C-alpha cells in the first residue's frame, strides 16, 4: 500500500478542527482522489485540554508549532493559526526553510509577506498552497492560477467578506441601522467581538491583494490598495440605492490597464440586474474577466469550518498527487513590474448623499461646486420636505463619470457649506 501523506496541523480552531473532521469523515474518497491516504500525525494549539469535537488521541502534540517543521514524521505542514506575525509566520518560514510543503488559510500572512514566502518556496522547490485563504470553499485561486492561465485578466472583483455582506443584506431586508445589523451579526457568530478587520475592509483587502497578484502575475502588494469599510453606510443609503435601481455591496476590485494595476476595496452601488447584486447573506462571489474566456463568476460560502476545510484538503490532495504550481502563477523572475495606480486617478460615477437644511438655493450651491470641478450631475432625488424651518433633509445626487481627485476636492468644498449639516456620504457606482 502507498505510504500515507503525513500532515501536521497547527491551530485547532474552527478551520483546523474542520480539517481533521473532513479528513476523517471522507477518508476513503480523499484517498482515492489523492492516490494515497492522507493522515494527520501531529497537531499544535494553545490549549491542549479544550474539547474541539474531534479525536486527538494518538497524535503527537507540539506546544511550539514551529518545532513541527523539524519533525521527520510530518510531510506537509498545515497552518490555520491566523495572523500575519507571531507563531503563524514562524511556522511557515521554518517549514519552507526545511523544504516541507505548506498549506495555509492565512490571508493576512500572504497579503503582507507573500512575496518573501513565495521566494522561499520557489528556492526550495516546494509548494506553498493557499486555496483556503480567499473565499473559503470557492476555488478562486485554482480558477485564476490554473483554469484561466491562458487569459490576460482585465479585472478581478468580488464580495470577499461574508460578515459585511450579511450586515448590508440585513440592513436592506429588515430595514436595520448599521449598528443594529452589526450587533445581530455578532450575536449569530458572523462577526467578532472586535469586528474592525471585517467592517473596515481590511479582511477583504487581504484577499484582494492575493487575487490581484495571481490575476496580473505580479508580486503581492497590500500597501498599494485603497481600503474603505462599511461603517458609513446608513439605512438611508440602502433605501436610496434601491430607489435608484442599485444595491450596495462591499467590493474588492482590481483592474489592469496600459498604465498599471489599480486595486481598491470600498462600498459600491451595483445595478440590480447585475448577478453580484443578488449575492446575499454570508455568501461570497468572485468575478474574473479574461480576454479569451470573457466573464466568469464563482459564488459560494466564503467562511466556516466546512467550506474552508474543503479548500485546505483540496490543496493536500494536490500535494499528494505531486501537482505543484508556482506560488504566484509564474516564477519570480517572470512576474510583472507593472506599477500601482493611485486611487486619486480612478474614474467612475458617484452617489452623494447630503443632509442639508431645507432652504432655497441649497441645491444651486452644490451644483455650482460640482460644475466648478468639471463634474456633471446625472440625477437628483429628494424625499420629503422639512416639517419645521431649518430642518435637515436628505438629498441624493448621482454623477456621470469623473476623476476621483476632482470628486474628493468637490466633496471637501460641499462639506464646508453652512447648509450641509453632516459629513457627505460618497459611494462609488460600479457596473459589474
pLDDT in tens, 197-212: 999 999 999 999 999 9
Nearest to 17 by CA among 1, 6, 47: 47
Residue 274 C-alpha cell reads as: 447585475
Q: How confident is the model at residue 388 (pLDDT cuts 50, 70, 90)?
A: low
Q: How confident is the model at residue 52 (pLDDT cuts 50, 70, 90)?
A: confident
Q: How confident is the model at residue 71 (pLDDT cuts 50, 70, 90)?
A: confident
Q: How confident is the model at residue 370 (pLDDT cuts 50, 70, 90)?
A: very high
> What H or E segment, with its residue span, contains residue 21?
helix 14-25
> Which residue matches cell numbers 510531510?
75
Predicted confidence at residue 299, as pLDDT, reads 95
Q: How confident is the model at residue 341 (pLDDT cuts 50, 70, 90)?
A: very high
Residue 87 C-alpha cell reads as: 507563531
314-328 in b/e form (b: 16+ CB < 10 A) is bbbbbbbeeeeebbb
- 389 pLDDT higher than 80: no
CB count in 10 Å sphere of residue 418: 10
Note the pLDDT tens digit of each residue in 80-126: 999 999 989 999 999 999 999 999 999 999 999 999 999 999 999 99
Predicted confidence at residue 353, as pLDDT, reads 94
DSSP state of 48: S
CB count in 10 Å sphere of residue 361: 9
Secondary structure of 81-117 in HEC code, one letter for each residue: CCCCCHHHHHHHHHHHHCCCCEEECCHHHHHHHHHHH
DSSP state of 340: B
CB count in 10 Å sphere of residue 89: 21
pTM: 0.93
- 267 pLDDT higher than 60: yes
Average pLDDT over residues 26-46: 93
DSSP state of 4: P
Q: How confident is the model at residue 172 (pLDDT cuts 50, 70, 90)?
A: very high
- The sign of the torsion formed by the CA atoms of 23, 25, 27, 33 equals negative
Pairs from 182-190 (Cβ < 8 Å, separation ≥ 24): 190/162, 190/163, 190/166, 190/282
Q: Are 213 and 156 in contact (CB under 8 A)?
A: no
Predicted confidence at residue 393, as pLDDT, reads 87
DSSP state of 372: H
Q: How confident is the model at residue 383 (pLDDT cuts 50, 70, 90)?
A: low
What is the rounded average pLDDT for all residues in the chain?
92
Q: Are 75 and 35 in contact (CB under 8 A)?
A: no
- 1 pLDDT higher than 70: no
Predicted confidence at residue 48, as pLDDT, reads 76
- Over pLDDT 70: what percentage of the chain? 98
DSSP state of 273: T
Q: How far apart are CA 38 and CA 23, in angstroms?
A: 7
Average pLDDT over residues 239-254: 96
Q: How confident is the model at residue 390 (pLDDT cuts 50, 70, 90)?
A: low
DSSP code string of 165-200: HHHHHHHHHH---HHHHHHHHHHTTSS-SS-HHHHT
Cα-Cα end-to-end distance for the chain: 51
Nearest to 141 by CA among 97, 112, 93, 105: 105
CB count in 10 Å sphere of residue 206: 29
Q: Are 265 and 144 in contact (CB under 8 A)?
A: no
DSSP code string of 382-404: E----SSTT-EEEEEEEE-SEEH
Q: How far apart are CA 208 and CA 134, in angstroms?
A: 8
User: Which one from 100, 107, 142, 207 is the annotated catalytic residue?
Assistant: 207
Predicted confidence at residue 162, as pLDDT, reads 93
Predicted confidence at residue 193, as pLDDT, reads 87
Residue 207 annotated to the active site: yes
Q: Are 279 and 159 in contact (CB under 8 A)?
A: yes
Q: How confident is the model at residue 387 (pLDDT cuts 50, 70, 90)?
A: low
Q: How confident is the model at residue 73 (pLDDT cuts 50, 70, 90)?
A: confident
- 229 pLDDT higher than 80: yes
357 HSE (CA, 13 A, CB side): 12
Residue-range domains of the chain with CATH:
5-133 (3.40.50.720), 140-301 (3.30.360.10), 346-429 (3.30.70.260)
Q: How far apart are CA 247 and CA 28, in angstroms?
A: 44
Predicted confidence at residue 337, as pLDDT, reads 87
- Over pLDDT 90: what percentage of the chain? 79
Q: How confident is the model at residue 430 (pLDDT cuts 50, 70, 90)?
A: very high
Predicted confidence at residue 308, as pLDDT, reads 93
SS3 250: strand
Phi then psi for residue 21, to 5 deg, are -65, -45
Amino acid at each position: 500500500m502507498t505510504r500515507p501523506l503525513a500532515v501536521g496541523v497547527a491551530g485547532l480552531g474552527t478551520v483546523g478542527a474542520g480539517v481533521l473532521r473532513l479528513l476523517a469523515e471522507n477518508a476513503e474518497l480523499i484517498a482515492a482522489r489523492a492516490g494515497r491516504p492522507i493522515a494527520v500525525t501531529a497537531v499544535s494549539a494553545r490549549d491542549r485540554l479544550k474539547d474541539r469535537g474531534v479525536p486527538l488521541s494518538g497524535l503527537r502534540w507540539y506546544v511550539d508549532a514551529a518545532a513541527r517543521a523539524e519533525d521527520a514524521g510530518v510531510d506537509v505542514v498545515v497552518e490555520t493559526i491566523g495572523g500575519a506575525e507571531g507563531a503563524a509566520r514562524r511556522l511557515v518560514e521554518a517549514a519552507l526553510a526545511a523544504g516541507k510543503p505548506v498549506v495555509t488559510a492565512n490571508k493576512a500572512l500572504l497579503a503582507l509577506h507573500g512575496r518573501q514566502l513565495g521566494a522561499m518556496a520557489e528556492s526550495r522547490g516546494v509548494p506553498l498552497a493557499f486555496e483556503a485563504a480567499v473565499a473559503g470553499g470557492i476555488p478562486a485561486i485554482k480558477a485564476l492560477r490554473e483554469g484561466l492561465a491562458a487569459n490576460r485578466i482585465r479585472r478581478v472583483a468580488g464580495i470577499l467578506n461574508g460578515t459585511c455582506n450579511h450586515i448590508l443584506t440585513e440592513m436592506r431586508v429588515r430595514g436595520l441601522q448599521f449598528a443594529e445589523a452589526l450587533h445581530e451579526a455578532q450575536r449569530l457568530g458572523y462577526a467578532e467581538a472586535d469586528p474592525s478587520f471585517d467592517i473596515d475592509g481590511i479582511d477583504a483587502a487581504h484577499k484582494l491583494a492575493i487575487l490581484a497578484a495571481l490575476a496580473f502575475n505580479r508580486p503581492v502588494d497590500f500597501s498599494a490598495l485603497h481600503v474603505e469599510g462599511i461603517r458609513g453606510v446608513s439605512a438611508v443609503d440602502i433605501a436610496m440605492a434601491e430607489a435608484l435601481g442599485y444595491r450596495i455591496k462591499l467590493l474588492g476590485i482590481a483592474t489592469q490597464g496600459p498604465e498599471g494595476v489599480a486595486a481598491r476595496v470600498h462600498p459600491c452601488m451595483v445595478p440590480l440586474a447585475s448577478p453580484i447584486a443578488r449575492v446575499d447573506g454570508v455568501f461570497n462571489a468572485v468575478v474574473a474577466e479574461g480576454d479569451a474566456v470573457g466573464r466568469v463568476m464563482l459564488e459560494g460560502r466564503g467562511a466556516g469550518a466546512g467550506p474552508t476545510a474543503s479548500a485546505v484538503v483540496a490543496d493536500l490532495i494536490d500535494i499528494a498527487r505531486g501537482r505543484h504550481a508556482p506560488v504566484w502563477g509564474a516564477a519570480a523572475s517572470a512576474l510583472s513590474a507593472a506599477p500601482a495606480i493611485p486611487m486619486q486617478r480612478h474614474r467612475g460615477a458617484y452617489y452623494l448623499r447630503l443632509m442639508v437644511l431645507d432652504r432655497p438655493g441649497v441645491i444651486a450651491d452644490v451644483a455650482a461646486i460640482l460644475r466648478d470641478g468639471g463634474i456633471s450631475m446625472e440625477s437628483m432625488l429628494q424625499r420629503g420636505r422639512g416639517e419645521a424651518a431649518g430642518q435637515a433633509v436628505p438629498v441624493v445626487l448621482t454623477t456621470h463619470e469623473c476623476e476621483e481627485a476632482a470628486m474628493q476636492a468637490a466633496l471637501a468644498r460641499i462639506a464646508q457649506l453652512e447648509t450641509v449639516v453632516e459629513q457627505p456620504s460618497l459611494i462609488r457606482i460600479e457596473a459589474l
